[in-house]
Amino acid sequence: MRIAWFLAAALAVLSTAVAAKPLKVVGPWEIAGIDPAQSGYVFSRLQVAETLVTADTSGRLVPALAAAWSVSDDGLVWRFTLRPDAVFHDGTPVTAEAATASLERARAGVGVLTQVPIAGIAGDGRDVVIRLDEPFAALPAYLVNFSAIILAPSSYDDAGKVSRIVGSGPYKVKNLTPPLKLELEASRSWWGGEPGIAEVSYLAVGQGETRALMAESGEADLVFSMLPVSVERLRRNSKLDVQIATIPRTRILKVNAGSPFFDDVKVRQAVSQAIDRAGIAKVILRNPDLAATQLFPPALAGWHVPDLAPLGRDLEAAKRLLAEAGWKPGSDGILERDGRRFSVTLLTYANWPELPPIATALQAQLREVGIEVKVSVGNSSEIPSRHRDGTLEMGLVSRLYSIVPDPIGTLLQDYGPGGSDWGAMGWSNEELPALVGRLVGMSDPGARAPLQRRAVEILQQELPSIPVTWSELAIVASKRVTGVKVDPLEVNYGLAAIRWAE
Amino acid sequence: MRRFLLARLAQAGLVALVVGTLCFALMRVLPGDATMRIAAGRYGPDAMTGQAAEKVRLELGLDRPWPAQFLDWLENLVRFDLGHSLVTGAPVIEELKVQLGASLWLAAAALLISLAIGPVAGVLAGLRPNGWADRLGLATSVSLRAVPPFVLGLVLILVFAIWLGWLPPAGFGTTRDLVLPALTLALGLAAVSSRVTRDAVATVAKAPYFAFARHKGLPEAVVVRRHGLRNAAIPVVSYLGLQAIYLVEGVVVVESLFAYPGIGHALVHAIVERDIPMVQGTALAMGLIFVAVTACVDAASAWLDPRLRSAR
């Protein structure tokens, strides 16, 4: 009898030990400050905190904390009805007041909500009511952004700062050691049920090579953002599953269309025709399909226009266009016009490791048509900084079009009047801002389609920024786990649905 | 002893003031817009805009005149308050606890491992200069030293994490995580400390008092223990002091390879992001560690070598 007891106890201990084995997740993102505008994406992706609305992997908006939403006929009053069973990790219910407080804070801060013409936010029973100054059909898409996560009142200190993350997702924070480590456990009160694995441990690993080694050594179950050079090797590993998704992120050449070098659209088109996108995509990104033949990748339905004449390489046409714009080769082969050499600085940054090598490839390719490029690798803040003081000539940037799941958000920011830090510079066009302005107020996909198409055509023709390559996200999962899904929008990694393989 | 401690305390105060002032001045001289840098550090390149930078400027009061900002820092320092990080918003002291703490663990582990390898190999080599142990030691030391730490680290990861599967390639928090980064650092340190020890031991072994001890018939082990080790230890201890400081400060590459949250990693980020309180706090902590380590080295040297005490 005693032995049976002992065995039972030992089994119980063993089984809890097995159940308590955490899902080890590794990604490149450090947790620099826990304010939602700063690291909200980590808490949203790892399902600690939730937004009112979320997006599925195809980009369709789906309910999260709000079970349903509606808009008044004049488009000015939005009503988001909270689901009745949502509870924060501290046991308090998710109320309209708590949601209102979180959203008000997001609106006063730095996130995307600052771009929405909000007149006021208020709680009304179980509804969060957002009043607008003018119709803004994309509002639900803006609420998907991580800066709009809903936190419990106990998350804030006396000064109103976020001092800890008390969310409502399937996982709650057990331990946070900024900037590198986050340990989570099942909240046991999530409206969506119990997660498949009770504990998750997230480690930020900045070095891509180390992340690959973590996957290979079996120390990590799920590793995000692999370098292209590692992907081939990892694919051959029989214990690992590599999944790849095209994400709405494009590497673009931001050019100062107000400078004497790029004010002529012919020169911008010539630069575009001098770029060997396929070569860059094949050699640096290891996937020739990533050559950006237009601004948006095929995965962005409604924004990718399949029958648009693709951007491609044509050196002779490029030289002809440059000659038409008045640029003639000088004695050393570098173009000149009115005594000015075509010599420009290309500014980029190393937050994405592939940007500097792409910049040097562009340097060599532009030299072939007589444009001298000096590559300068600096801090990412130098792009907005030099945009503001007008000294930027060219910048190679990696631009995300799903900051809100509807690219209209980024277009509104980047190609509005006067351009913006990461978008157009010194470029003036009246049609595009008007189009974007109309799109913002429209929600019917059928009615939006022709306008979206026209916007893409203008960008393709005018090239205020020159698309270079699209991007993909590579995720490596150990075959120990099942149920891993890649979210191209990187809103939510669906960890709660992951289970240990039998 | 009391005078020694008081002098060191005064030194620590001076270091704090000089380091803080220098950091403050240098961070202002650096080119680039500090507010933009801070905003980029906070929000990352995707969400960082000029608008965000404007809000940061207003929130932090960075447009106040610099003497006012410096006086604030000084006043807080007197109250042992290092302020808050401009990027993460957390108190600098909390960040230091995690990152400096992690660095000290790593440094201690690396130093211990290197002590187990370097001086032992050095004594063996130094007792028989040009013998096989000496030659092997020299070859190993030169090759280990010639390999950059990140390459050495990658080789160790490949062997111990991928092929053998004994240890994790990266991470922190448990002893298992500490082994590989500590070993990477320790091998580099031992490569040099073994040669320093070898030279010190070889010099002692040639000294007349050492020969005399042998001639008077003491067994070899007693000669080495009583007359060799203590004398040879003096230069080695000073050298180890320098190594300890290098360990705390200069291991950024190893830290980032092993995803280890050390102070080097923190300082580099703080400088890039113009997080002045973090830079000042980190540099201050490092300066004070420097003072503490040199004080320990001096005390240890004085204990090892009575001549130093009588000279004072």
List, for residues A330-377, the tens digit of each pLDDT value.
Answer: 999 999 999 999 999 999 999 899 999 999 999 999 999 999 999 999
B170-223 pLDDT, tens digit per residue, is 988 888 999 999 999 999 899 989 998 999 888 888 888 888 888 888 888 888
Q: Which residues is A54 bridged to in the sheet?
A: A62
- Contacts for B10 with CB less than 8 Å, ≥ 6 apart: none
Chain B within 8 Å of A110 (Cβ-Cβ)?
yes
Residue pointed to by tokens 């730095």 = A110
pLDDT class of A27 with cuts at 50, 70, 90 = very high
| A388: contact with B, CB 8 A cutoff | yes
Exposed, middle or buried: residue A288 (CB in 10 Å: 0-12, 13-18, 19+)? middle
* Cα B264 from chain centroid (whole Å): 9
Contact between residue A94 and residue A44 where contact means Cβ atoms under 8 Å apart:
no
> pLDDT tens digits, residue range B258-294?
888 888 888 888 988 899 889 989 888 888 888 888 8
pLDDT over threshold 80, residue A116: yes
Q: Please indicate whether, in this complex, the C-beta atoms of A217 and B169 are within 8 angstroms of each other.
A: yes
Q: Is A384 in contact with B50 (Cβ distance < 8 A)?
A: yes
- Output the average pLDDT for chain A: 92
Residue B141: phi and psi, rounded to 5, are: -60, -45
Burial class of residue A136 (count of CB atoms within 10 Å of its CB; 0-12, 13-18, 19+): buried
Q: What is the rounded CA–CA span in Å between residue A45 and residue A487?
A: 10
Measuring CA to CA, which residue among B114, B154, B106 is closest to residue B260?
A: B106
Contact A380 B51 (CB under 8 A): no
Judge: B162–A420 Cβ closer than 8 Å, yes or no: no
> Which residues of chain A neighbour B168 with C-beta distances below 8 Å?
214, 217, 219
Cα–Cα distance, A245 to A354 (Å, whole number) = 17
Is the pLDDT reported for residue B135 higher than 60?
yes
**Bridge partner list, A122:** A129
* Residue contact A207–B257, C-beta within 8 A: yes
- Are A210 and B88 a contacting pair at CB < 8 A? no
For position A1, what pLDDT does the model report? 44
Does A157 touch chain B if contact means CB atoms closer than 8 Å?
Answer: no
Asked if the model's pLDDT at residue B99 lies above 80, the reply is yes
A224–chain B nearest CA distance, Å: 15
Q: Could you tell me the CA-to-CA distances from B300 to A180, B1, B60, B237, B261 in Å, in that order?
A: 37, 13, 46, 8, 31
**Neighbouring C-alpha atoms within 13 Å toward the C-beta of A421:** 20
Spatial distance between the Cα atoms of A48 and A41, rounded to a whole number of angstroms: 10
Q: Report the CATH fold assignment for B93-311.
A: MetI-like fold (1.10.3720)
CA distances from A375 to A48, A262, A394 (A): 41, 17, 10
A473 Cα to chain B: minimum distance (Å): 16
CB of A418 within 8 Å of a chain B CB? The answer is: no
For residues A128, A129, A130, A132, the Cα torsion angle rounded to the nearest 10 degrees is: 170
pLDDT reported for residue A127: 97
Arithmetic mean of pLDDT over chain B: 87
Closest CA–CA distance from residue A303 to any residue of chain B (Å): 20
**CB distance B32–A385 less than 8 Å?**
yes
Nearest CA in chain A to B155: A213
B259: nearest CB among A205, A217, A413: A205
Chain B residues close to A114, C-beta within 8 Å: 51
Chains A, B: CB pairs < 8 Å: 135
CB contact under 8 A, A210 and B172: no
Query: Does A218 contact chain B (CB < 8 Å)?
Result: yes
Instruction: List, for residues A377-428, the tens digit of each pLDDT value.
Output: 998 999 999 999 999 999 999 999 988 888 888 888 898 777 889 999 999 8
Contact assessment for residue A294 and residue A310, using Cβ atoms and an 8 Å cutoff: yes
Question: What ipTM was assigned to the predicted interfaces of this complex?
Answer: 0.85
Q: Is the pLDDT of residue B59 over 70?
A: yes
Which one of B87, B169, B272 has the shortest CB-CB distance to A213? B169
In this complex, the residue of B49, B98, B162 whose CB is nearest that of residue A384 is: B49
Nearest chain A residue to B156 by CA distance is A213
d(C-alpha A48, C-alpha B4), whole Å:
54
Chain A positions touching B87 (Cβ under 8 A) are 32-33
B67-73 contacts at long range (C-beta below 8 A, 24 or more positions apart): B69/B24, B70/B21, B70/B24, B73/B20, B73/B24, B73/B277, B73/B280
What backbone phi and psi angles, to 5 degrees, belong to B59? -65, -40
B266, B2 in Cβ contact below 8 A?
A: no
* Residue pair B85/B92 in contact by the 8 Å Cβ criterion: yes
Which residues lie across from A254 on neighbouring strands?
Answer: A395, A465
A144-153, A259-268, B39-48: the lowest-pLDDT one? B39-48
B248 pLDDT band, cuts 50/70/90, is: confident
* Cis amide prior to B67 (ω within 30 degrees): no
Which pLDDT score, from 0 to 100, does residue A97 have? 96
CA dist A343 and A455 (Å) reads: 31
Nearest CA-CA distance, residue A35 and chain B, Å: 8
CB contact under 8 A, B259 and A207: yes
The partner residue sitting opposite B40, judged by closest CB among A109, A177, A380, is: A380
- Least Cα distance to A458 among A305, A322, A318 occurs for A305
- A137 close to A443: Cβ distance less than 8 angstroms: yes
pLDDT for A18 equals 45
Q: Closest-CA residue in chain A for B55?
A: A110
Contact B44 A379 (CB under 8 A): no
Question: Is A183 in CB contact (< 8 Å) with chain B?
Answer: no
Domain with CATH 1.10.3720.10 in chain B: 93-311
User: Quick one: DSSP state of residue A463?
Assistant: -
Q: Hey, how many other C-beta atoms are within 10 angstroms of the C-beta on A10?
A: 10
Chain A partners within 8 Å of B50 (Cβ): 384-385, 387-388, 421
Are B33 and A385 in contact (CB < 8 Å)?
A: yes
CB A318 within 8 A of CB A240: no
pLDDT tops 50 at residue A11: no
Query: Cα–Cα–Cα angle for B124, B129, B134, nearest 5°?
Result: 55
Does A160 contact B at CB distance below 8 Å? no
- Which has more confidence, A434 or A301? A434
First to last CA, chain A: 32
Q: How far apart are CA A241 and CA A239, in angstroms?
A: 7
DSSP track, A30-88: ------HHHHHHHHHHTTSSB-SEEE-TTS-EEESSEEEEEE-TTS-EEEEEEPTT-B-
pLDDT computed for residue A12 by the predictor: 47
Give residues with Cβ within 8 angstroms of A260, minimum separation 6: A340
* Buried residues in B217-249 as b, exposed as e (16+ CB within 10 A): eeeeeebbeebbbebbbbebbbbbbebbbebbb
- Condensed to tens digits (0 to 9), the pLDDT of residues A170-219 reads 999 999 988 889 999 999 999 999 999 999 999 999 889 999 999 999 99
List the alpha helices (DSSP H) in A341-472.
355-367, 382-388, 408-414, 431-440, 445-462
Which residue of B46, B48, B51 is the best one to mutate when testing the A interface, meaning the one whose CB has the most A CBs within 10 A?
B46
Note whether A191 and A86 are within 8 A (CB): yes
Cα distances (Å, whole numbers) of residue A209 to A150, A263, A429, A471, B278: 35, 41, 44, 19, 28
Closest CA to A309 of A293, A298, A321, A295: A293
> Distance between CA atoms of B278 and B291, rounded to whole angstroms?
20
Q: Which of A434, A404, A399, A400 is nearest to A113 (CA)?
A: A404
The answer to whether A236 faces chain B, any CB pair under 8 Å, is no
Distance CA A50, CA A194 (A): 16
The radius of gyration computed from the CA coordinates of chain A, to the nearest angstrom, equals 25
**CA B98 to CA B102: how far, in whole Å?**
6
Regarding beta strands A328-329 and A240-255, do their DSSP bridges make them parallel or antiparallel, or are they unpaired?
Answer: unpaired
- Which amino acid makes up residue A108? A
Among chain A residues, the shortest Cα distance to B97 is held by A177
Is residue A198 within 8 Å of A186, Cβ to Cβ? yes
Check CB contact of A390 with chain B, cutoff 8 Å.
no
Residue tagged 């102070």 (tokens): B263
Nearest by CB to A379, which of B37, B52, B53? B37
Q: Chain B contact for A174, CB < 8 A?
A: no
Place of tokens 């980020």: B269
Q: Are B104 and B248 in contact (CB under 8 A)?
A: yes
- Rounded Cα–Cα distance for residues A244 and A474 (Å): 4
A245 to chain B, any CB pair closer than 8 A? The answer is no
**What are residue A183's DSSP bridge partners?**
A175, A201
Judged by average pLDDT, the poorest of A364-368, B76-80, B217-221, B307-311 is B307-311
User: Which residue of B43, B51, B55 is in closest CB contact with A38?
Assistant: B43
User: Are B169 and A219 within 8 A, CB to CB?
Assistant: yes
